[in-house]
Amino acid sequence: MPKDRPMSIADDLQALGQSNPIEFRGETTINVGLSSLYAILQRCKELGYELLLDISSLDHMGSEPRFEMVYELATLDDSKHLRVKAKVAEGVDVPSAVKLWKTANWHEREVYDMMGIKFSGHPQMERILMWEGFPYFPLRKDFPLAGKESEMPDVAFSGVAPLEGGPFVTSPGSTRETGEPRAKGES
């Protein structure tokens, strides 16, 4: 194929060996096995998907495998988008995509921190949002919405709010459920 004419998404799917993509609202999704995930991502990079827009995960609590990884890929000229999904059993590591896209570093750390899914071959597999030693994964469906009791001080409600008089208000002494910041005038 001439270099001046980009391949279509249909050509890419054929090159990836994907004959049953899911098409919805102009978006293309492929489901791959975890064992072939890295090879598929590597081939996507070769096909011109230079941008890894996001990596996220889903918790299908009660189903096996429990988790699903979702990779959002795009070309630099924004002409093609591709979503790659792979199911992951609890306790199974996912191959890291950091060698393909450096931005995978932060995305994978966030997935680990919030869902507990580890990535093999990751250069810095440690928490990014929660403190080291936090024993839970807050985005799992079995994590209570109100959070879990902690030895950490409730610093957000221990004194005068740092933005007092600003666009948001908090209720000192309130619980975690009712103390969320909100716009003035909202109840």
Average pLDDT of span 20-40: 95
- For residue 119, what pLDDT is reported? 98
DSSP 4-72: TSPPPHHHHHHHTT----EEETTEEEEEE-GGGHHHHHHHHHHTT--EEEEEEEEE-TTSSS-EEEEEE
Q: What is the pLDDT of residue 133?
A: 85
Q: If you average pLDDT over residues 15-27, what whole number do you get?
A: 92
* pLDDT of the residue at 134: 85
Confidence band, pLDDT 50/70/90 cuts, at residue 2: very low
Q: Which residues is 165 bridged to in the sheet?
A: none
- Encode pLDDT of 36-85 as tens digits: 999 999 999 999 999 999 999 999 999 999 999 999 999 999 899 999 99
pLDDT higher at 55 or 184: 55
**Token pair listed for 122:** 């990751």
Q: Looking at residue 103, what is its pLDDT?
A: 96
CA separation, residue 167 to residues 112, 158, 163 (Å): 33, 20, 8
Residue 169 has pLDDT above 50, yes or no: yes
For residue 166 the two structure tokens come to 């600003």
What pLDDT score was predicted for residue 177? Answer: 57
Beta-strand relationship, 94-95 and 67-74: unpaired
Of residues 136 and 84, more confidently modeled: 84
Question: Model confidence over 81-130: pLDDT tens digits?
Answer: 999 999 999 999 999 999 999 999 999 999 999 999 999 999 999 999 99
Domains of the chain, start order: 9-143 (3.30.460.80), 153-187 (no CATH)
Residue 152 has pLDDT above 70, yes or no: no
Mean pLDDT, residues 20-28 taken together: 92
Q: Name the amino acid, one letter, at 13.
A: L
User: Quick one: pLDDT band at residue 1, thresholds 50, 70, 90?
Assistant: very low
